[in-house]
Structure formats: structure tokens, C-alpha cells
Amino acid sequence: MAEDGGQLGVLSVEEALQKAKEAGVDLVEISPDAAPPVCKLIDFGKFIYQKEKKEKEARKKQKIVEIKEMKFRPKIDHHDFEYRMKQIKEFLEKGDKVKITIRFRGRELVHVEIGSQLMNRIVDGLKELGIPEKKPKMEGKSIVVVISPAKK
């Protein structure tokens, strides 16, 4: 392929190298598996620079999803509950996942149903902003659920 984008046709390697030398550019093999192999006459340094620039731009536009964790206790006060729910909603609006953990200590383990009710209350309060990835489940001495932001 010519430097201006036009095709030169099928050439021998020597002819192609001669044309590249005349134009002051490099002969770069684009697809070696084709029959015959496809080559371009381009400034290789400029080509690599532009390729790296595109990759860097693509990395800038990526959204890295973070997992934020919010811990609750079964005997949480109303104000603390509301404050944590407000924070969880902010995290979900930003596009982050939220891992919600209700931890039990000592005799609280006898009343797991209180923690289950609390977890259901949390999940119901976040229905419009997020969807649980799995049902809340008991893991050791805590109930855990991960909530992903809802698609808009």
C-alpha cells in the first residue's frame, strides 16, 4: 500500500524495499498469513506512537468498578441505618458495587432472623438503584450480599 493510502499492487520484496527507500519510509508487513503477504509503506515510529496514543486514550475512558463494603450489626440504631443507606445509594449512583455485611457477635447468633429481616429491609430500600447479584446468604458469623448498580 502506498504512503498516500493507494495500492501499488503485487511487488517483489526488493521492489517494495526500493520504493520504501525512495519515499523515506519503512516497509511494514501487516498480514503475513495472506497470500501474497500484505505490506504498507509507513513511518514505523509514527505508527507505533499513534497506536500507543490510541491505547492510552482507551484506558482513560474505561470505568473501573470498585467494590465498597458497608458493615451493619443486627442492633443498629435508626439514624445509623439511614446514614449508611445514604452512603450505599451514593456508591451505587457512582457505579460502584456494594458488599453489605451484617455481622453477629456472641449471643446475637441465636437471633439470625433479626439480621435476615434487616438485610431484606436494606435490599428492598435499594431496589431502584441496585440489584443483588445473589440472594443474601450466611457465611460464618455474618450475612453477606453484593449489590450491583442497576442499568439505566
Give the tens place of pLDDT for each residue, 15-57.
888 888 888 888 888 888 888 888 888 888 888 899 899 999 8
Instruction: Flag whether the pTM goes above 0.75.
Output: no
Within-domain flag for 97 = yes
Q: What pLDDT score was predicted for residue 44?
A: 85
DSSP for the chain, written as a single string: --TTS----S--HHHHHHHHHHHTSEEEEEETTSSSPEEEEE-HHHHHHHHHHHHHHHHHHPPPPPEEEEEE-TT--HHHHHHHHHHHHHHHHHT-EEEEEEE--GGGGGGHHHHHHHHHHHHHHTTTTEEESS--EEETTEEEEEEEEPP-
Same-domain status, 84 and 115:
yes
Distances 12 to 9, 25, 29, 44 between C-alpha atoms, Å: 10, 17, 13, 20
Pair 49, 100 in one domain: no
Could you tell me what percent of the chain has a pLDDT over 90?
39
Domain with 84 in it: 67-149
Q: What pLDDT shows up at residue 117?
A: 92
Residue 30 maps to which CATH number? Answer: 3.10.20.80
Within a domain: 5 = no
How many domains in the chain?
2
Q: For residues 24 and 41, state if they share a domain.
A: yes
Q: Which of 37, 58, 79 is the last residue of a domain?
A: 58
Grade residue 1 by pLDDT with cuts at 50, 70 and 90. low
- Per residue in 59-85, pLDDT (tens digit) is 888 777 789 999 999 999 999 999 999
Domain-embedded: residue 91 = yes
Q: For residue 48, is it within any domain?
A: yes
